[in-house]
Structures are given as structure tokens and as C-alpha cells.
Structure 1
Amino acid sequence: MLASLAILLASCNCYNKMLKKVDRVSVSATPAVLTLKGSNVVTDVRVDFPAKYFNKKAVLKVTPVLVFEGGELVGTPKFIQGEKVKDNYTVIPYKTGGSYTQAVSFPYDERAKLSTLELRIESKCSKGCKKRKEFTPFAAIPVAEGVSTIQALADNAAYLSIMPDNFKRVTTISQNAEIMYLINKSNVRPGELTKDQVKMFEAFVKEYSDKDRATLGNVYAKGYASPDGPVKFNDELSKARSESGQKAISKTLESVNPKYDIAAYGEDWEGFKELVSASDIKDKDLILQVLAMYDNPVKRDEEIKNMTSVFDVLAKEILPQLRRTKLIADVDIEGRTDAEIKEAAASNIDVLSEEEMLYAATLTDDAAAQLKAYQAAATKYNSVRGYNNAGVVYARAGKVSQAKALFEKAAGMSKDAAITNNLGVVALMSGDAAAAQKYFAALNTADSKANMGLVNLAEGNYAEAAKALSGYNLAVAEVLNGNLSKAKSLLSNEKSAEADYLKAVIAMREGNSSSAVANLKSAIAKDPAMKAQATKDVEFSKLFGTTEFLAL
């Protein structure tokens, strides 16, 4: 169709006939709707000139222009000439006619979603027409309507990284004490029960035997012998020590009467190695090396005796520490319930620990409540996880500058991969794919790999993007790759407003306008902001003005 014709400035034969027959010039675009690819709007324009049309002396300057409300974008012009023109432009023969194809690209402008791509043609004659030696307007021919922005439907906030809480409903605390014995003895000396550590052990068991939210487990009595005697004798000795130790402590705990678990461990080789390793004995490495050479406990006993005669310090300082009954008591402390944590988070969040605050944010889908919990952890405990996770909440809400500030704060406190990943996400959301790629390339996490897929999507590398994406974002990539059936399959279990909107786009591309309207209706019900989005989306241009579309 001819959009407009400029006034012919001169009645040169060079252009009279061309102007009269300009409607015979055929133009087309592939794709028929301009497409956002990377940061540019692109299409390939083909212009066909019929036979006996193009004057042998004519030169045309054809400029692609994207026109929209409030402005226009001017592309790179293409020059075409007749057969007798002595220039180096594309030649269109007069007798047979001809064609050319031009790749057209414009930097993306959001105002151009509803726009018209037109070819503005200017003309001049190479000779024989003095008034037409300079290019002057000839015609303007429309080529395509609107810009498809499916690429922009990607959810760039999909792969933000939350730093997890370490909240545990039940925590276990322990108290230990040791009853020491003389060499080859198993009787408990009275002085052992008056030692501070034994008294603390007794107090611990009594305190938690009947305490709210506390469950006292078994009291363990583990008997050991030093590895400097016959193996069989030491096995029996360690058993006798565990029994005497349990009997002695049970008398002090009669009022509590806990359950006991008695066990004999024989010769304490591991304890021996630990004590020697931690000591300042000059030749301790040699001692440990020699002992490691023998698997037979009898042989090791012999070597111990040999060493005690040489290294007196073993007999005086190391072996006595191994002749013992080790008392152990464990208590499980049950923390606040989910309901209690939610209540505290809502009414008096400062009573919660850092882990409880971080956990509280996981108990709700309300973004405001999540933000409150994360900010409380950041403020009260200077929590790096609080700063990072609050940034995630802001980023998901599209508040990129606030998110970036919090991620940078967290990055100053920790080099955690989650924070680096999130800095890359806000860079991508800000339109800086190059900076985002640098962040993601430094990582090897699942989130960073998926985000690299989004970088490829933003740069127009749709096939490569599809290799790294999943779910909704993969569906976006597959639509751009032309795989509509696969995209539909991926969206079958997606319930978000964004997924419904993309389903509507696919339905329009398949020619199913009723399904498109139904999915648009569902999307708008979930997110009313999509009303304005749909009215400027060329994908729905065939619905513009229809009763069904206007009703939405």
C-alpha cells in the first residue's frame, strides 16, 4: 500500500512513469512483525521492482524509518540505481526488474511497541534532469506494523539466590564430666565426686530433667583403660569402671533417676593419640609413627611399655588421663513453633534470634512480611543473609536500585556466591548484560548457570539460552525459537499471570483468538497491570477493537 507520495519536484521523464506505477513496487518483511532481539529491533526487508519499471538513469535512496507516537528511529539507507548510472549501488535492470533484501535494525525504544516501519524513498537522476541532481522526496511505503517484544517477557528475577537460615526446631546441648581412676583400679575415689566438673554435670542433669521444652536423654557412662596392659585385662577393667562410674553418679542423681547407658570401650587408643598429638613431647611424631606401624593391640601394648621406660612423660602425663569413666548427658531443646514464630514476627520481632527471623520469612508468601523479617535480621544482628535476602525481595518487586544497594552491602561483608549471583541479576535487570555476564562467569552454581541463559536470551542467542533455562523462561526461549508446541507443554503446569499471558501470545500465533482471550482474561485477573501491557502488544493487534478484547 502506498502511504503517501511526495510532490514531484520536476517533470523529468526519469521519474514520471516510476511515480505513476509506484504501487507496483512490492515490499515485505521477514519476520512480518519487527522483533526485539538483544537490544535491537530487527527484520529483513525485501523490495521487488517489476519489469520495465526502473528507469535506467534513476537513483533511489531508500531509508527504513520506524515511526511511532512521539518520535521515530531512522535506519541505514540503501541506494539503488538504473543500468546507465555510473555508481556502485545495487543495479535494478529495466527490462527484467529486480529485487534486494536489507537487514534492518533499530535500537529498541519502548515507545515503538506500536509503530510502523516505512521505507522513505528519495530520488535523483544521474543526468538529463538538472533539477533532480540532489535527492528529493519521492514516496513513503509502509512495510510492517509493530514490534514483537516476547524477549522482554522473560523473568530476569527468576534465579535470585536466597541465603538459607540455619534454624533448627530442636537443638541438642550436652554436658560432660570425667571420673578418674588409679592404674589398674576401678573403684571411685570420694574426691572424684566433689570435682567442679562432676558437680556441674549433676546440676545440668537436674536442671533439664523437668524443664519446659527440654527432653533429657540417657546418661552415658563410658569406661576406658589406658593402653599399657594386657588387652583382656583392660577390656574387663574398662567395663568395671563404667559400672562403678554409673553407680557413683546415680547416687547423686537419685532425685532425678535418669535412664543410664553403660558401655565399655577397652583401651583408649584414639584418646592416646589425641593427647600425644596435643602435647609438647619432643619426639611425639616418632611415637605416633611407631604406633601406626602396629595393628596388633598386644604388640602395641608392648611398645607402649617400652616407650614408658624411655619416655617417662607418657607414664606420668598421658596414660593417667586415659584411666576414666566419661559421663555424658544430652538434652534436646525444642524451640518456638511455626505459629509462635509467625506471631512474634508480626507483633514483637525483636524477641527472635537471627535464625528465627530468617526462618520467619520462609513461613509466609507475603513480600512485606518477608522484607520485615530480613530487615530485622540485618538491623539487629548485622546479618549478611538478612541484607542479601532483603535485596532479593526488592529485586522480585522490580525495585532494582534498592536491591542493588543491599547486595553491595552484603558483598562488603561476604564473598558468598549467592551475593555475586544476585549482583549479576540486578545488572541484567538494569540492561547491562555484559556486566551481568562477568558476575555469572565467575561462578559455577545452578543459579548462575540459569542466569547465563537469561544473558543469552537478552542478547538474542535464543537457541543457546534454551540449553540453560527451565520452566517459564525456557518457554519464552522456545517461543522465540519457533517451538510453540514445546512452549505450550512447558507452560501446562505454570499458573502465574506471566504464564497465562505467554499462553495468550502462543494462542494468537496459532490463530486461536478465543483461547488467547481466555488466557488474557486469566492473566489480567491475577495481575491487573497486564491490561495496559496487552493494549500495547502487537501480538494482539488482530484483537484490537473487538468486543472481547475491549471487555477485558
Structure 2
Amino acid sequence: MKRFVKSFMFMSLVVLLTGCNCYKKMAKNVDRLTITATPSVLTLKGNNVVTDIKVDFPAKYFNRKAVLKVTPVLVFEGGEIAGTPKFIQGEKVKDNYTVIPYKTGGTYTQNISIPYDKRAKICTLELRVESKCTKNCGKKRKEFQDFAAIPVAEGVSTVQLLANNAAYLAIMPDNFKRVTTISQNADIMYQINRSNVRAGELTKEQVKMFEDFVREYSDKDRATLGSVYAKGYASPDGPVKFNDELSKKRSESGQAAISQALKGVDAKYDIAAYGEDWEGFKELVAASDIKDKDLILQVLAMNDNPVKRDEEIKNMSSVFEVLAKEILPQLRRTKLVADVDIEGRTDAEILETANKNIDVLSEEEMLYAATLTEDAALQLKAYQAAAAKYNSVRGYNNAGVVLAKEGKLAQAKTQFDKAAAMSKDAAITNNLGVLALMNGDVATAKKYISALNTTDSKANMGLISLAEGNYSAATKTLSGYNLAVAEVLNGNLAKAKSLLAGENCADADYLKAVIAMREGNSSAAIANLKSAIAKKPALKEQAVKDVEFAKLFGSQEFLAL
């Protein structure tokens, strides 16, 4: 509790008039009032500066005919903001204000909530009092006249603003793979019921391309050639047992033919027989313009037994001739398959290329390069290169993230807008919401983020709750440093300290200093401030205007920082 004397910032007492003046004696004894602010330091909660004021009037003080109008005013360099006034009256006043009895005195409370102005971190909350008389006085006495200006609190605690609103910006991931696999295949075709490879088959363009592929990658830097497969198939138009044996012979003859054509090439060969190719049959029929193809596909779906399938299709005399001419010959084959694993650039090579000649990198390599460094400039370069060369939505989005974290919000908005025009990905929507929050537009942030259901969006809803002053709700989805901020605002200092135990960034050290001050440990506060400023010199300017450190403002240790 603090007793305020007649200390008036914008004026002292007004010139008291003679004659009828119901508040003359009240003004003379204004130092008898006891005023308490809870909390004693103004607090930013949501978008408003808040505190609760309690004013105690002593016995035989409040004139029965007097009315006081008490307006809270936040006064700071460059301006002031007035809050909602409170009216108090004496016992003989016929209005419906709070009544203060003359004989016993009394108390009134006032919940102060004034819109926050960022210039008001260093400020004074004044109660500007006006008074009037309601009976037996001239007209002038019945109008409110300046009475007193009483300072009740100084400075605004803005711990809420210490939250890292950029913490849950969403990076769209790269799909970089160190090893990629490429494939080549070709078909060696056979006549019905035959397994010998005709000479003309090996001169076909697709087979020649297959041979060239195997030769090229059998001894190429960073390439590993897998087995060369010969997969034999038969058309499903004969006995199953015969076709099983036929497909095996075809795989063997196909392997022998291709290994002879690739004589001298260091390759490993493998064969596999697949019997009747019903899957291939179904694919070819589905892709054809055969009149009754839907009926054929229905027969396949209804019968699992290959013998039964064969019988049913042969019974469809109207289409079997077309099948025998157009579909079945394409299934009599050995399928040649070769896979090659290509090993890409190492991390060191990607970083070097990103620095020297980034345009030669693929989109995925550019996006991946940004994950290999903590250098924000190189990250931005990589993402912007991906956006420029490949019109990459991920490049635009991720460049926006880097810019937003650097505080370049207008540039970040341009990048996010380009990404949003290309995709409705939740990461982009999340980031537009975060950007709105960083700009102080909580309503827009909520509009973007509340419709999402991602891990990042849930955490960002916690930050929105924090910005709205709903600290209890904020603790449900926040974690780490931001949760510690919420717990400080909830008064849970011990929990906040435990959450910060493993945090070593500048902002965490700064919050530790705030906690130390609230616990009365000024030496720990100085130590943590020193660490915070060493890591982030810009915090000097923040600290000298932070009312949390008001008790240190005149100390040598604080000034030395």
C-alpha cells in the first residue's frame, strides 16, 4: 500500500473559489487518501495496459454534496491516453454513482484498462480528478472543475511481448535424396508358344537403348549398376503348366541374348519367370478401345482361377479374335530391366556450389542447401534461387520464413503471397497467420490459423491466446521458451525457470533476468542480462526501458552493461 501526497503532474490544486465550495476542504486534505495499485507495476495484457486501483477515503472527508470524476490517464513522452472515468458521490447527491459516506469514509475500486501504445513502456498512470457540487451553489460549482492529478503507478511491464512469435513459422521440406535410382527397360518379343530369340529383336531401337544404358552406367563415376533382370512372361491363352515352363524358357533365352550383346560389360544377370501375364492383360484391355472391354474386365474380377478365366474369355467368341490379334501378342515377351543408383553431391559439395554457382543445382539441392547452414543470408539465397529458377512454391514460402525471422515483414509478405497464389498448403496459411501476429493484427492471425490442424498452427494458437491476454489457455499448446513466457505471466516463476534450464539463447537469458528480478535476486538478474546482451546487443535498448529492471536503473552494475 502506498500513501500519495499532493503530487500533481499536470497541475496542482485548482484555484479555490470563495463562498459555496463543497470540495474545498476535500482538496485541502487530499493527502489523506490512500491509493493502492494491484499490480503495483502496470501490466500489458492483450492489447491493454491493466491494473486495479483501490482508493480509501478517511472518515469525515467526502462532502455529502460533492461528486468526483476520476479519469485514469496514461502519460508518456509524446502523448497520453485516457481510460474510462469513474464517478463517486456524497450521500446527498441524487445520482447513481458509488457513494462514500461522510462519517465513516469508504472505498471504491476501479479496473483500469487503457489501450497500449508502444511509446508507453516508460510512463506514469495518473488519476485526474474533477469535482463539482450539486446543491446550494452557483452554476459554475455544478460543472466539473479540475481538482487534482495523482500519480499512482509508473511503467508498463511488457513480458507478454517477449514471446517469440516467429517460433512456429513453417518451412516446407525438401525432397532431396543423396542416392537416386534411374531405370531402363526393353522387351524381347516372341512368337506364340516359342522361346527362341529372333535376330531382329536385338536390333530394335528400344533394345539398343537398353544396351547403351547398361554400358554407360556399368563403369561410371558415382553410379552403381544393379542386376540386369530378364523377366519371362506368357500370354494367358494356353495350359497353365505349359505357360509356366514357357515363361521360364523365355527368361533364360532373353538373358542369354542380352548378355551376349553386352559381352565384355561387367554386369550381373538375374532371371525370373512369371508365367501367364494376367496383370499385363488387364492393363492392355483397360487401355484399349475394344467394344466389350468392360465385360472382359468384369470376367477377370469375378474369377481368380486362371483356367476358369481362360475358358470364360475364349467363350466370348465375339471378342476373342480381337484379343488374340491385338492383346495377346504383346504379352509374349522377356522384359529386360536395369536399375542404376546415382550418388549425388556431398553436403560439402552442395554448400560450395551454393556459394559459387548455385544455378547448377537442382531444385531439391537448392532447398536442401539451406538446411546445411545457419547463415540466414545463404539460406535466403538458396530459397530465392529455387523460386527464381524453378518457380518453386517451397522456395517462395521458405524465403518468406527467413525474411520474417529477420524482421523484414513486408518482404516476407510478398514471398508468402506468391506462394499462396500457387498452393493452398497449410504451411503457407500458417505463415500468413504468423506474419499477421507479428504485425500485431491478432484478429487476422486467428482467422488464418484457427482453421488449420497442424502442429505449428496449434502452437501458434497458443501465441494468439498469449497476445489476447489469455495466459492460461496459452500454456496448453506452447512449449519451451514461449511456454516459459506464459508461465511468468501466470505467476509460475519456478516452472518458468525449469523450462528455461536448457535454453541458452539471448532471449531466454533476458527472461531469466526478469524472473530473477521478480524473485528479488538482482545479482542473478545482472548476470543473465550480461549474457543476453553479449549474445544480442540490441537487448541493451530494450533493457533500459524495461520497468522490470527499474530497481537497477541507478546501479553501477546496470549502467556498466
Task: State the TM-score bracket (shorter-chain normalisation).
Answer: over 0.9
1:545 aligned to 2:549?
no
Amino acid of the structure 2 residue aligned with 1:439: Y
Q: Partner of 1:383 in structure 2? A: 392
Which aligned segments of 4 or more residues in structure 1 are displaced greater than 6 angstroms? none
For 1:179 and 1:257, locate their aligned partners in 2 and report how far apart those are by CA, in whole Å.
21
| Partner SS, residue 380 of structure 1 | helix
> Could you report, residue by residue, the CA deviation over 1:112-168 in whole angstroms, capped at 9, with x for unpaired residues?
111111212222222344363332222222211111111111111111111222222
Q: Partner of 2:17 in structure 1? A: 10
| Map 1:238-387 → 2, pairs under 5 A | 238-307=247-316, 311-387=320-396
Give how far 1:8 is off: 4.3
1:27 aligned to 2:48?
no
| Partner SS, residue 119 of structure 1 | strand
Would you say the 8 A contact 2:121–2:155 is kept in 1? yes
Give how far 1:409 is off: 1.8
Would you say the 8 A contact 1:8–1:138 is kept in 2? no
Amino acid of the structure 1 residue aligned with 2:63: N
Would you say the 8 A contact 2:230–2:334 is kept in 1? yes
| Partner SS, residue 22 of structure 2 | helix
| Map 1:124-135 → 2, pairs under 5 A | 124-130=132-138, 132-135=141-144
Would you say the 8 A contact 1:227–1:304 is kept in 2? no
| Map 1:105-124 → 2, pairs under 5 A | 105-124=113-132
| Map 1:60-459 → 2, pairs under 5 A | 60-130=68-138, 132-307=141-316, 311-459=320-468
Q: Partner of 1:510 in structure 2? A: 519
| Partner SS, residue 45 of structure 1 | strand
For 1:16 and 1:546, locate their aligned partners in 2 and report how far apart those are by CA, in whole Å.
43
For 2:183 and 2:189, locate their aligned partners in 1 and report how far apart those are by CA, in whole Å.
20
| Partner SS, residue 214 of structure 2 | helix
| Partner SS, residue 168 of structure 2 | coil
For 1:15 and 1:295, locate their aligned partners in 2 and report how far apart those are by CA, in whole Å.
104
For 1:179 and 1:380, locate their aligned partners in 2 and report how far apart those are by CA, in whole Å.
41
Would you say the 8 A contact 1:308–1:314 is kept in 2? no
Give how far 1:16 is off: 4.1
| Partner SS, residue 311 of structure 1 | helix
For 1:124 and 1:13, locate their aligned partners in 2 and report how far apart those are by CA, in whole Å.
8
Amino acid of the structure 2 residue aligned with 1:81: Q
Structure 1 residues not aligned, in runs of 5+ = none
Structure 2 residues not aligned, in runs of 5+ = none
**Mean alpha-carbon deviation: is it higher for 141-150 or for 449-458?**
449-458
For 2:394 and 2:24, locate their aligned partners in 1 and report how far apart those are by CA, in whole Å.
74
For 1:488 and 1:301, locate their aligned partners in 2 and report how far apart those are by CA, in whole Å.
76
Q: Indicate the RMSD between aligned Cα atoms, in angstroms.
A: 1.7
The TM-score normalised by the length of structure 2 is: 0.95
Amino acid of the structure 2 residue aligned with 1:97: G
Amino acid of the structure 2 residue aligned with 1:134: E
Q: Alignment identity in percent?
A: 81
Amino acid of the structure 2 residue aligned with 1:296: N
Give how far 1:10 is off: 2.1
Q: Partner of 1:520 in structure 2? A: 529
Give how far 1:478 is off: 1.8
For 1:13 and 1:248, locate their aligned partners in 2 and report how far apart those are by CA, in whole Å.
121
Would you say the 8 A contact 2:299–2:309 is kept in 1? no
Q: Partner of 1:58 in structure 2? A: 66
1:42 aligned to 2:50?
yes
Q: How many residues align?
A: 552
For 1:305 and 1:188, locate their aligned partners in 2 and report how far apart those are by CA, in whole Å.
28
Would you say the 8 A contact 1:291–1:303 is kept in 2? no
| Partner SS, residue 486 of structure 1 | helix
Give how far 1:468 is off: 2.1
Q: Partner of 1:501 in structure 2? A: 510
For 1:89 and 1:59, locate their aligned partners in 2 and report how far apart those are by CA, in whole Å.
9
For 2:307 and 2:494, locate their aligned partners in 1 and report how far apart those are by CA, in whole Å.
74
| Partner SS, residue 175 of structure 2 | coil
In structure 2, the CA distance between the partners of 1:308 and 1:502, relative to structure 1 (3 Å rule), is farther
Give how far 1:393 is off: 0.9
For 2:21 and 2:253, locate their aligned partners in 1 and report how far apart those are by CA, in whole Å.
124
| Partner SS, residue 280 of structure 1 | coil
**Mean alpha-carbon deviation: is it higher for 248-257 or for 407-416?**
407-416
For 2:513 and 2:424, locate their aligned partners in 1 and report how far apart those are by CA, in whole Å.
42
For 1:132 and 1:187, locate their aligned partners in 2 and report how far apart those are by CA, in whole Å.
122
| Partner SS, residue 503 of structure 1 | helix
**Mean alpha-carbon deviation: is it higher for 4-13 or for 533-542?**
4-13
> Could you report, residue by residue, the CA deviation over 1:423-444 in whole angstroms, capped at 9, with x for unpaired residues?
1121111111111111113322
Give how far 1:13 is off: 6.3
Amino acid of the structure 1 residue aligned with 2:272: A
For 2:505 and 2:414, locate their aligned partners in 1 and report how far apart those are by CA, in whole Å.
28
For 1:378 and 1:508, locate their aligned partners in 2 and report how far apart those are by CA, in whole Å.
47
| Partner SS, residue 261 of structure 1 | strand
